[in-house]
Structure 1
Amino acid sequence: MTTESAETSASALLGVHRYPVAPGCQLNVRSGPGTGYSIVDTLDLGASVPINCQTPGTSVTGPYGTSNIWDNIGNGRFVADAYVKTGSDGYVAQRCG
Structure 2
Amino acid sequence: MQRVQNYNQEAQDKAKQAAQTKFAPIQQKAMEAIKSVAKKSGYAYILDINSVLVGPPGDDILPLVKKEMGIVEKPAATSPATKTPAKTGGN
Normalising by structure 1, what TM-score?
Answer: 0.26
Higher strand share: 1
Normalising by structure 2, what TM-score?
Answer: 0.27
